[in-house]
Amino acid sequence: MPEPLVKVRDLKMHFPIHAGILRRKVGAVKAVDGVSFDIFEGETLGLVGESGCGKSTVGRALLRLYEPTSGSVVIGGEDIATLAPDALRKKRPTMQMVFQDPQASLNPRMTVAAIIGEPLDEHTDWDEAKKTERVYELMDQVGLNRRFANRYPHEFSGGQRQRIGIARALALNPRFIVCDEPIAALDVSIQAQVVNLLEDLQDRLGLTYLFISHDLSMVRHIADRVAVMYLGQIAELSPRDALYAAPLHPYAQALLSAVPEADPAVEATRQRIILKGDVPSPANPPKGCNFCTRCPKVIPLCREEKPRLSEVQPGRFVACHLVAANQDTAGGHASPGPEVREHNQQGELS
Amino acid sequence: MTDTTLNIEKVRGPWADVWAQFRKHKGAMAALVMLGTLAIFCLLGPLVWRIDPNFIESDTVKMFKMRNQGPSFAHPLGTDQLGRDMLARMMFGGRISLAVGTVAMLVAIFIGTTVGVMAGYFRRIDGLLMRLTDLFLALPLLPLLLVMIFLFRDPIAGVLGPRLGTFLLIVMAIGLTSWMQAARVVRGEVLALKEREFVLAARSIGTPSRRIITRHILPNVLSPVLVAATLGIAAAIITESVLSFLGLGFPPDFPTWGRLLYDGIAEIRTYPERVLWPGLAISLTVLSVNYIGDGLRDALDPRIRGR
């Protein structure tokens, strides 16, 4: 197996809560609480989960737009999480980001040429002509008319703005791009264009993506492997086809059961797993498994001990006592209950 | 369109667009002409109208005849209570008032913007800087100004000469006591701006903080800064006149618009025109500056530009 391009180990991102007259720290929002995964060169890792589960925080902590509380993020052999500011700045060209809201991610007072050229201004000592040439080249690459170079972001449609954002991310030939819900703010017809553009660029430039999204169908389309997050932790990380065919973690099952089917016959028989209750506060997560308060298959062990993310099948990582129990004890477990048995069968199908 | 046009259209600077939009703003253009006229009146007028603004007839009888005259060909704006020519005094007064207003505003805006941006952008010094701002806001300004001028006027005048010394002292004093509003407004804007994604994008590119501030933050806080600046000029002219009135600004025989205004107030019932002229000049200046600021703000915002 090749060495992964991005190696994230036990990444934690806690935001302190200050309260009282003295603004003392009274706790922390555990937005990301011990996340580990690898991304291999040239692949797309999808990161899905519901709102507020820490997807975007992972993406931002990966590029050290936030200072991670602990853990390591090794990109191309260097630990981003502890790099000195100067070295980090030199490292920036290899990792870039495409943002969610193309309106907010472009400075309204800069022209397209200035926006796309900003990375070049910061990291190259090229003369104006060479920079302009590169800006035009990038605009061609993302399908923007060169004549738009002097226009301002408000003169563009959402899809075009996202293309500007992508061109800016590509300016320095990065190897790794974090796509933070790049299509969430776009119309469906435009979403397809932007996703196809991203795939096309990946083929041509050999890019590696972390694709953060809550659109499960889109992730199925673009990702090679998918990580499902719940409340700051990864519930399941599996190859795309295996995950969509048979999710192992109860939360992944519930999440994927919400994806509508295109075929009306299948759609009519689709069984939705409706979760009860609310997501616990990330400032005060449950003692055991983060999902134990809402899990339909909860067992007493879940409330006591946090499950670890472990490889239960080749390439499939799941953080669940039920799935792990199946592996460890091979049926010798004291009556896991009917739901669990059914669940295991599901897992073995894949 | 042919390929040649594609290549001809180079990345062009923003100032051509700004000027084109500014010219479309009728009010701003009228105000620019008005302010220009006032400036020319004050700067070049004395070269044409060669009467000493401080000239008082030494012969007492003549002097008494010269006092409080109405408009005439010899004195188009009349004379004041000592028989000095009002037109000449208006010209010289305008020089001081415009200079004080502009420079004091620049000082205040510079300090205010710097403090505001620093406080808004760097969380660590936010508390310190804003408490400093509160401290200045809580000070009673007029007594403070009086003390400052009382303490420093003579030492500074000794070094730089009475005219330049007084000018610098007044400008600095007004600037140092009127930056707080700008600082607060700017801080608020910066706090909102730095959470915007384009600032995050700049950080992900690796742009250092100082260039994030100059490239992304400052252009976007321009609107409130311009508003503060236009109001600041007016406030500075008025404050200077207050100081002159209290005898702590420029020397009493030294005309400024504010000084003329206060001299005229005593006799407003008998000679209202003596209040009217300096008052009109101050009002027109403030109004023009306001309109220019308005036009500038529109011209500098690409979202409004071209509408």
- Determine the residue among B5, B11, B17, B217 to mutate to test chain A binding: the one whose Cβ has the most chain A Cβ atoms within 10 Å: B11
Residues of A in contact with B223 (CB under 8 A): none
Whether the pLDDT of residue A11 is over 50: the answer is: yes
3-class secondary-structure state, position B71: coil
Reported ipTM: the value is: 0.80
A124 interfacial to chain B (CB closer than 8 Å) = no
pLDDT at A158: 86
A109 interfacial to chain B (CB closer than 8 Å) = yes
Whether the pLDDT of residue B173 is over 90: the answer is: no
Cα dihedral sign, B166-B240-B228-B226: negative
Alpha carbon distance A227, A210 (integer Å): 10
pLDDT in tens, A170-221: 998 899 999 998 888 888 888 888 899 999 999 999 999 999 998 888 899 9
Contact (CB<8Å) B200/A99: yes
pLDDT at A333: 40
pLDDT at B153: 80
Quick one: pLDDT band at residue B186, thresholds 50, 70, 90? very high
Whether the pLDDT of residue B150 is over 70: the answer is: yes
Which chain A residues in 29-88 lie under 8 Å from chain B, judged by CB atoms? 60, 63, 65, 88
More confident site: B2 or A281: A281
pLDDT at B128: 92
**B8: nearest CA partner in chain A:** A147
Alpha carbon distance B235, B290 (integer Å): 12
Q: Of the segments B10-19, B131-140, B225-234, which one has the largest average pLDDT value?
A: B131-140
Average pLDDT over residues B59-84: 72
Contacts of B297 (CB under 8 A, 6+ apart): B222, B223, B226, B227
**For chain A, what percent of residues have pLDDT higher than 90?**
24
**B211: nearest CA partner in chain A:** A122
Average pLDDT over residues B11-32: 79
Q: What are phi and psi of A261, to 5 degrees?
A: -100, 145
Least confident of A287-291, A306-310, B233-237, B244-248: B244-248
Average pLDDT over residues A78-89: 88
Whether the pLDDT of residue A341 is over 50: the answer is: no
Query: Residue A110: what residue type?
Result: M
**Cβ-contact B249, B259 below 8 angstroms:** yes
**A121: nearest CA partner in chain B:** B207
Beta bridge partners of B292: none
Residues of A in contact with B220 (CB under 8 A): 107-109
**B207: nearest CA partner in chain A:** A122
A132 interfacial to chain B (CB closer than 8 Å) = yes
Whether the pLDDT of residue A344 is over 50: the answer is: no
Alpha carbon distance B53, B93 (integer Å): 9
Residues of A in contact with B216 (CB under 8 A): 107
Contact (CB<8Å) B303/A154: yes
The contact set of B with A (CB < 8 A) is: 1, 5-6, 9-12, 14, 196-198, 200-208, 211, 215-216, 219-220, 300-303, 305
Beta pairing, strands A233-239 & A316-318:
antiparallel
pLDDT at B73: 72
User: Comparing C-alpha atoms, which of B63, B68, B61 is closest to residue B86?
Assistant: B68
A93 interfacial to chain B (CB closer than 8 Å) = yes
pLDDT in tens, A104-116: 889 888 889 999 9
Alpha carbon distance B211, A68 (integer Å): 24
**For chain B, what percent of residues have pLDDT higher than 90?**
15
Contact (CB<8Å) A109/B301: yes
Whether the pLDDT of residue A235 is over 70: the answer is: yes
pTM across the whole model: 0.79
B197, B300, B301 member nearest A105 (Cβ) = B197
Strand order in the sheet with A310-313: A95-98, A176-180, A208-212, A44-48, A225-230, A233-239, A316-318, A310-313
**B199: nearest CA partner in chain A:** A105
Q: What are phi and psi of A194, to 5 degrees?
A: -65, -40
Quick one: pLDDT band at residue B9, thresholds 50, 70, 90? low
Contact (CB<8Å) A96/B205: yes
Rounded to the nearest angstrom, the minimum Cα separation between A89 and chain B is: 5
pLDDT at B246: 75
Query: Residue A27: what residue type?
Result: G
Q: At B35, list the tokens.
A: 């302010």
Distances (CA, A) of B175 to A128, B136, B239, B281: 40, 12, 10, 22
**Mean pLDDT of all residues belonging to chain B:** 82
Using a 10 angstrom Cβ sphere, with 0-12 exposed, 13-18 middle and 19 or more buried, the burial of residue A117 is buried
Contact (CB<8Å) B197/A99: yes
pLDDT at B307: 55
B14, B203, B303 member nearest A108 (Cβ) = B303
pLDDT at B10: 55
Whether the pLDDT of residue A338 is over 50: the answer is: no
Whether the pLDDT of residue B238 is over 90: the answer is: no
More confident site: B60 or A128: A128
Distances (CA, A) of A282 to A13, A30, A212, A307, A328: 11, 5, 19, 17, 30
pLDDT at A176: 92
Give the number of beta-carbon pairs within 8 Å between A and B: 87
Residue carrying structure tokens 């505003």 = B105
Contact (CB<8Å) B201/A111: no
Contact (CB<8Å) A107/B216: yes
Alpha carbon distance B231, B294 (integer Å): 11
Quick one: pLDDT band at residue B139, thresholds 50, 70, 90? confident
Alpha carbon distance A11, A66 (integer Å): 12
To which H or E segment does residue A162 belong?
A: helix A158-170
Residues of A in contact with B193 (CB under 8 A): none
Query: Residue A323: what residue type?
Result: V
pLDDT at B81: 72
Rounded to the nearest angstrom, the minimum Cα separation between A105 and chain B is: 4
